[in-house]
Amino acid sequence: MRLQAARRVCVLTGAGMSAESGIATFRDALTGLWSRFDPAQLASEQGFRADPRTVWAWYAERRDAMRAAQPNAGHHALADFARRRRGVLTVVTQNVDDLHQRAGNTEAIRLHGDILADRWFDRCARLPACATHEAEPGRPPRCARCGNLVRPGVVWFGEMLPPGGLEAAERAAAASEVMLVVGTSGAVWPAAGLASTARQVGAWVVIVNPHPSEIDAQAHEVVRGTAAIELPCLLSMGADSS
Give the mean model confidence (pLDDT) for residues 154-160: 94
Q: Is the pLDDT of residue 211 over 80?
A: yes
pTM for this predicted structure: 0.91
Q: If phi over 0 gives left and psi between -120 and 50 gives alpha, with beta otherwise, what is residue 202?
A: left
> What DSSP designation does 163 have?
T
* Confidence at 135, pLDDT banded by 50, 70, 90: confident
| 188 vs 16: CA distance, rounded Å | 13
* Confidence at 146, pLDDT banded by 50, 70, 90: confident
Q: Mean pLDDT for the chain?
A: 91
- Is there a contact between 78 and 91 (Cβ–Cβ < 8 Å)? yes
Please name the fold of domain 2-23+70-112+161-236: Rossmann fold (3.40.50)
Domain with CATH 3.30.1600 in the chain: 28-68+115-154
| 203 vs 201: CA distance, rounded Å | 6
Percent of the chain exceeding pLDDT 90 equals 76
State pLDDT tens for residues 22-63. 998 877 766 655 676 787 789 999 999 999 999 999 999 999
State pLDDT tens for residues 107-126. 999 999 999 999 999 987 66
How big is the chain, counted in residues? 242
- Is there a contact between 209 and 183 (Cβ–Cβ < 8 Å)? yes
| 238 vs 109: CA distance, rounded Å | 22
What residues contact 124, with CB distance under 8 A and at least 6 apart? 130, 143, 146, 148
**What was the pLDDT predicted at 147?**
87
Domain with CATH 3.40.50.1220 in the chain: 2-23+70-112+161-236
> What DSSP designation does 202 have?
T
Give the mean model confidence (pLDDT) for residues 143-157: 91
**What was the pLDDT predicted at 134?**
77
Q: Is the pLDDT of residue 241 over 60?
A: no
**What was the pLDDT predicted at 242?**
38
Q: Is the pLDDT of residue 219 over 80?
A: yes
CA-based torsion, 145, 150, 156, 160: positive or negative = positive
* Catalytic positions: 112
The CA–CA distances, whole Å, from 211 to 8, 16, 186 equal: 27, 10, 11
Q: Which CATH number fits domain 28-68+115-154: 3.40.190, 1.10.10, 3.30.1600, 3.40.1350?
A: 3.30.1600
Q: Which residues of 101-112 are buried (b: 16+ CB within 10 A; e: fewer)?
A: bebbbeebbbbb
Give the mean model confidence (pLDDT) for residues 86-91: 97
First to last CA, the chain: 14
Give the mean model confidence (pLDDT) for residues 143-166: 91
Partnered with residue 149 across adjacent β-strands are 142
